[in-house]
Every structure is written in C-alpha cells, then in structure tokens.
Amino acid sequence: MTYRPKNYEEFAAYASTANVIPVSKKLPSDMLTPVAAYLKLRGAGKRSFLLESIEGNERISRYSFIGVDPYLVIKARGENLEYEQGDGIVSVEKGDIFTSLSKYLASFVVAKVPDMPPFVGGGVGYIGYDAIRSLERLGGGLADDLGIYDSVVMFFSAAVIFDHVKQSLLIVAGVFVSQEGASRQLYESALATISDIENVLFGVVPAIDKTTRTLPPAIRSNVTKEGFESAVEKIRVHIREGEILQATLSVRVVIDNFAPAFQLYRAIRTLSPAPYMFYLDIGEYQLMGASYDMLLRCTGRRLDYRIAAGSCGRGATDVEDLLLAEELRADEKKVAEHTLAVDLARGDLGRVCDYGSIELFELMIVEKYSQMMQMVSSIKGRLANNKTSIDALAACLPAAKVSGAPKLRAIKLMDELENTRRGPYAGVILYLDYSRNLDSCITISTVICKQGQAYAQAGESIVADSVPDKKYLETINKVRLLLKSVEIAEKEI
C-alpha cells in the first residue's frame, strides 16, 4: 500500500505551486471488480459514474474509473445553464456548455504528482448531439420527446481508478487549496476520505431488487419502416444533387423497462463488450452504453483523434480473421467512406491545431474485438496556444461518422428528416480533469433509462448507393441488440 504524497510535508510542498493536489492510496485489485466496487460505493443510488474498458489495446483500455456524489453538476438545455451544488443550491445563467466548462476550469493548477493515471478527478458526463446548436445557427425546432438535458457534466473530488495492466486500484481524494495555502487539516481530511472509501470497497456488495414483468413489452419507435426508407431516398437525392456526400440517419425505440438501470448496463456489457463502456447516473435518469469509437483525447497540448469506420464480423479461426480483414480493406465502398471520415477529421483538427502539426500515424489498420473487426485510423496534432481542449472538442462535435459531410448541411438535413431531437445520442461521453486534459468516446450504442422506460437509439451511414430497406434492417438490428439487453436484465441478471 502506497500513499502519495507520502506525508504532510510533501503535500505542503505541492501546495506551494498548485491549488489542486490529488492525495492517493494504491491497493491491489485482484479481489475486486469495477462493477462490484461501483455497486458498493453508490449504495442506495447516488449520482455517480462508472467508465470501464472491457476490451481493446492497452492504449485505450487500461483503466476503469468510478466516482460518487458530485460536488457540482453543470447542466445545459438550450441557452440555459444550471449549476447545482452538492448541497442542492441551484443557480441559472445563459450560455453554452463549452464556455461554462472553460470558465470553471480556468483557475485550477494541478500538482504534478508522478505515476498518476490520466484521470484522478474532475468532470465526467455527456455532451449531447444538440449541443452544436449553441455554437451554430441550426435552429432547435425538433420535438424533445426525451425531456432531458442537452449536456450534463458532474464534478467529483474523489475517484477510484482500476489499472488493469498493473492489477491495482487507486483511491484518490482531491484537495482544493485556497489562497491561504495548505493546512494539516486539509491533508488529514483527504486521508480520512480515502479510509472511508477503502472501508466501503472491501465491504459487502449490496443486494439488487428485481421486478418481474407481468405484461408483454410495449415497443414504440419514433419512425416507421416506410418513413425511414423514404428519408433514405431523400438523402440519396441530396447526394446526387451535390449538396452532401454522406449523412447518418437514426432511429429511436422505447420499451417498458422493469429492471433496475444498472442491471441493464450489466446486460449491455455482456452483449457488447467494448473499449469504452459507460454508466452515468444523473439522478433523474441514467445513461449507459458501449462504444468502440474514441473521438478525441487531449493530453497537455497533444490531441489524438481516432476514426473507426468500416466493420465486419469475426472468423472462426485466425486465418479466417486474416482473410476477412483483407476483404474489409479491399472493400472500395467502405474504404471510400473511411477516407472521407479521415479527411473530415483532419479538417476539424485544423481549426484548433498549429499549422503543419497534424499527422496521420495509423491508416486503416484492422482492430479485432470479441464480436467484430473494424478499420481504424489515428491522427495526432498539437493544440494551438490560443486554444484549449474544450475548444478542440467543440470543433470536432458531432463526429462526421454520426452526422455527415459536409457536417453542418448534413445536420440541417437530419433536422428535416428526423422528427425528434437526438439528445445524448451521437454526442460524446467524456472525462475532463482540472488541467483540462480529456478523453471522449462517441455516444453510439446508447440506452437511456427514465421513469420505467428504456430508450435505445442507433443509426446508419447513408451514401449514394445505399439500399433503403437494407439500411433500415441494419439500423433496427443495432437497436434490437440494445433491446435484448432489457430482456437479459429482467430475466437472467
């Protein structure tokens, strides 16, 4: 067991140059899983998050993060921002989520404690697809059938981090030092917080109530098969006329849900293990899902952007996998869509990076996962001195993969063809630390639980030669996988 800083004197030394000091204790994690740890820490259902890495390479799947009881929640809906303190006090102002996050984080200076994970406390939440409306003149007339916030970011001073490579966990209590400087009381309070968390972690996992369904599920969609196929045809017309090159059309389905929300998340992680798994308990509702798609990562001035476009199934043997991967790379249509996504990503990064710093360092490599393979390209760049990571995130949202190209014209077209706002779907899940380093994934395979309903949403890329009924089937199959998780959560978990 290792503490950092090692003692109060070392803590005070950090406090002389920083106003946020992460105090931590390292423990072995071989007797504990992130799921069990989360269930213990959240207790009776506090606002909280679990960010997991189920599969993938070490670069993207090394850590899992847990936080409970945020001291601040920033919520955005349209032009209104709400700031909710841990004591329940709420203040409201006009603005957008990006400016709000930048202003809040501007005054923090974080102590550079060595050998820390990439995130040890800060903001965790989602920025929805519709957040782009606060930056661009797109209008907002679509129906809001979900009735939830466009974006929510919760700030946590304490966190539990699992390092899956080193088989260890880190309990972190962040200390905010005022202008008066460090005090022994602050340091000892952090140690007490760590001790309290440790005691909970190695206690008993609480029981989960189960409710049995008595009626067949009622499933409703925001679009009919005929309506979806008609929208595909309209998109193809716009492509032929040269207005757009590609657009992503989505479907939302709602089903009665009798399982506790976290049971539904457990079913999703079983059905769709992915490098990015997320469960956010906002209080009024829960957002959960799986994503293979990292959008943007910022570490210091370095930006990393991954493009995942073009996928296929797994083979029964390594040789079959190799043959399928070669077929994927030889598929002219999928390669063209992937290349377009790469070009659009470079354009987005060009708005916030130093000239000449953008570099493509992986091109259409095929990554293997338990249920599929996909083509991935990676781009890196250097953030311009007059830009922040939040500026970069705003420039990249929403990803071309889930909007279209050109992006703004495709978004306006989707506003005409989709009859409801997308909400969190096609935005990002992110963490954001006090140094404004961030990591984010595209919110794709997503379920929202609210008042006994589960809302699932998925989409498909539409290009000039897309076949309407085939695209409808592919989209519905994605939604069905999410709905399958409701059945598993109610019957098996």
Helix axes of 468-491 and 261-271: crossing angle, nearest 10 degrees: 120
Would the pLDDT of 19 be above 90? Answer: yes
Q: Please tell me the least confidently modeled range out of 154-168, 209-223, 334-348, 470-484.
A: 209-223
- CA dist 454 and 446 (Å) reads 10
Work out the pLDDT band at 218, boundaries 50, 70, 90.
confident
Work out the pLDDT band at 58, boundaries 50, 70, 90.
very low
Task: Residue 443: name the closest of 274, 281, 312, 311 by CA.
Answer: 274
Helix axes of 318-330 and 332-350: crossing angle, nearest 10 degrees: 70
Give the pLDDT confidence of 173-185 residue by residue, as tens digits: 999 998 777 789 9
What domains are defined for the chain? 2-200 (3.60.120.10), 219-491 (3.60.120.10)
- Rounded to 10 degrees, the C-alpha dihedral 356/358/361/366 comes to -150
| Residue 31 token pair | 């007797």
Task: Residue 445: name the closest of 460, 433, 432, 462 by CA.
Answer: 460
What are the contacts of 5-13 at 24+ separation with CB within 8 A?
5/113, 8/184, 8/187, 8/188, 11/175, 11/182, 11/187, 12/181, 12/182, 12/187
Based on its alpha-carbon atoms, the radius of gyration of the chain, rounded to whole angstroms, reads 22
Region 139-157: what's the mean pLDDT?
Answer: 88
Give the pLDDT confidence of 244-274 residue by residue, as tens digits: 999 999 999 998 888 889 999 999 988 888 8
> pTM of this prediction?
0.94
**Percent of residues, the chain, with pLDDT higher than 70:** 95
Task: Residue 233: name the closest of 492, 426, 418, 468 by CA.
Answer: 468
Backbone angles phi, psi at 99, to 5 degrees: -65, -40
Residues in the chain: 493
- CA dist 352 and 390 (Å) reads 10
Cα-based angle 304, 310, 313 (whole degrees, multiple of 5): 120
Would the pLDDT of 75 be above 50? Answer: yes
- CA dist 291 and 103 (Å) reads 29
Region 9-25: what's the mean pLDDT?
Answer: 93
Region 307-319: what's the mean pLDDT?
Answer: 88
Q: Provide the pLDDT for residue 43.
A: 81
- CA dist 50 and 155 (Å) reads 13
Maximum CA pair distance of the chain? 70
Give 142's contacts (C-beta < 8 A, 6+ positions apart).
415, 418, 419, 420, 421
Region 343-367: what's the mean pLDDT?
Answer: 93
- CA dist 126 and 129 (Å) reads 10
Would the pLDDT of 56 be above 60? Answer: no
Q: Provide the pLDDT for residue 44.
A: 73
Would the pLDDT of 414 be above 90? Answer: yes
For the chain, the average pLDDT equals 90
Give the pLDDT confidence of 423-479 residue by residue, as tens digits: 999 999 999 999 999 999 999 888 999 998 999 999 999 989 899 999 999 898 888
Give 347's contacts (C-beta < 8 A, 6+ positions apart).
none
